[in-house]
Amino acid sequence: MRRGGRQSGNGKSPILNARGFTLVELLVVIGVLALLLGVLVPVLNQARRAARSMVGGQRQREVVLAVSLYAGDHQGRYPESVATAAMLGRTWRWQEPRMMKACQPRASGYQCSMASYLRAYLPKAVALSCPSSPTPYPYLEDVWRTGELWDNPQTGFTDDSVLGSYCFYWNYVGCLSEQERPFLGPQTDAGRPGCSRLLISDYFGFNHWRSPDAFGSCERFARAEVTAETDEAPAHWVHNPQGQPDQAGVHLKLQAGFTDGHVEAYRPSETTVLEVSETLDGTTPTFSGVGLGPGLFYIPRSATASGR
């Protein structure tokens, strides 16, 4: 009677014939995995960028809708711009279009917080934050909730200002320095001669006081580093170019929302320069040299066409 398990022809168990991978086989497996990762990682990164872009476009649409609803309840007029600063002698000047909360209103009857106009139409402030920004502004919801009463716990001031990661253009006046004429943001939902249709856009600029001699954007672009947040502003991406700066050489996808409700994509090569105006009529740009001022803001050329 035969005992024991089944044996192979050479008298050894099949289990004992099993062997591990050879060095060559391991190298082949590792090479295949590396090849797959090399293919998949760019695809996954591209998918993440596409997802963030889709979310950003949706957020801009929410802001456009909120501003349009406000206009519907106020005889067709858009909210006043809060990108202004009160000065001595009842005069005031413009500030950069990213302003969400100014230090103080420019005059009696005006508000210095965007939330004072739009909070009822846009309850959640997350829509005002670009999803591609390095980090969101930590107090964004608090700023939106408290409005005129915002008091930053990190400062000793009671009239704190706040910048966003988007630019806001309703009732904003700037200077189109390349075209040597004013930029007039939309005032009414019916349009006015000479006014743009642009309501909101991604931030993309150059030579801002937070990032002198550098391109900056809320959208990430090649070779970009991070300019950290401040008490009044979120972090954004920056890159100091070699040689003469040229926005057309920046590879970046941007988005902007218009009065008719649509959000469109554009490239840096399709932009023109908007500067903060020193004067109320948009005819004189403010001093922005050597990284001491608000710098240049690049907006889509299509936004500089007059409204109806």
Per-residue pLDDT of the chain (308 residues; tens, 9 = 90+): 444 444 545 555 554 455 666 877 788 888 888 888 777 766 666 777 778 889 999 999 999 999 999 999 999 999 999 999 877 655 788 999 999 999 989 888 999 999 999 999 999 999 999 999 999 899 999 999 999 999 999 888 888 999 999 999 999 999 999 999 999 999 999 999 999 999 999 999 999 999 999 999 999 998 999 999 999 999 999 999 988 889 999 999 999 999 999 999 999 999 999 999 988 999 999 876 555 689 999 999 999 865 44
The residue written with tokens 């023109």 in the block is: 272
Q: Determine the 3-state secondary structure of 219 from DSSP.
A: coil
Distances (CA, A) of 78 to 58, 126, 199: 20, 21, 10
Torsion angles phi and psi, residue 178, rounded to 5: -70, -30
**Please, what is the Cα angle at 117 between 266 and 218, to 5 degrees?**
30
pLDDT at 308: 45
pLDDT at 89: 59
Nearest CA among 127, 215, 218 for reference residue 165? 218
**Encoded tokens for 163:** 């910048």
Q: Determine the 3-state secondary structure of 277 from DSSP.
A: strand
